Amino acid sequence: MNKLNQLREMTAVVADTGDINAIRQFTPLDATTNPSLLLKAAQQAEYQPLIDEAIAWAAQQGGSSSEQTALCVDRIATKIGNEILQIVPGRISTEVDARLSFDTNATLERARRIMELYAQMGVGPERVLIKVASTWEGIKAAEILEREGVHCNLTLLFSFAQARACADAGVTLISPFVGRILDWYLHNTDATNFTKEEDPGVQSVRRIYQFYKEHGYETTVMGASFRNTGQIEALAGCDSLTISPNLLAELAADEGDLPRVLEPGANASKTTAAISEGEFRFQHNDDAMAHEKLGEGIRKFVVDQIALEDQLKARSQQGEPA
């Protein structure tokens, strides 16, 4: 049995892509998307009719040019999400505009609109995860959405403070990043290499996983942002892992043994006090890596969001009558 199939027996495997062909090939349980992946997906031939439909639909809704563009992006995200849901048996994660990461009310408004667009396609809330950056404001928005029956995936998670706040908020799932943490340590310390056991990204996810299990938190831990299969193997047994197609292919081609590393344990009990906003902000910002990578991650998603919007604007203008 190859390592991918061994991993499936202990961990929910999620495809970190919007590529329909890759999802068909690896048959994951769930799939995740973000602005960067949507930008790539928008270049694929099979999505071009969908994009044309989204542009026409957004124009029919009226409003300013910027409002129509925002609507168009959400329409495309949910249309692609719906296409993916025809293949995967589980859920699709769809991300709220990263420019709203520090605005709780705006995040709520956009998340509700995304859910309404899915509802119009006949997709129920049990099949969608709203992706929100793990800022304090994003976590507070997710807490409200969860009470409304909207399940959330808190992304761009780098610090233990973020993980604690997400657990307190009762979010459905968190996506602690592994590879980007490793990137920071390779760039900002004298280290040139880490074993998979020493990898700071792996250690971060292991710490969060053990804390959640020891204290009975039901939030799913889904490791994300992998640079190599060694990081994935070092987290075998984690609740869930979202993996890019190239690393899924490497695991599928490897016939070696994959031992389980993480175990849920037993006798869990909640004994921790909720983290306050002040504690959250100090502890997160006291972690230089987490502070820098959260800001960088938001900026990168915004760049790709704007690039997608610019493409849609140009395409819409090409279709307008002279």
Q: What percent of the chain has pLDDT over 70?
A: 98
The pLDDT score that the predictor gives to residue 297 is 97
In 3-state terms the chain splits into helix, strand, coil percentages (rounded to 5) of 55, 10, 30
pTM for the structure as a whole: 0.94
- Give the pLDDT score at 41: 81
Nearest to 17 by CA among 81, 99, 89, 96: 81
Residue 65's H or E segment, with its range, is helix 65-85
pLDDT score for 267: 66
CB 11 within 8 A of CB 36: no
Residues with catalytic roles: 131
pLDDT at 83 over 70: yes
Residue pLDDT, tens place only, 10-65: 999 999 998 888 999 999 999 988 888 888 888 888 888 988 999 999 999 988 98
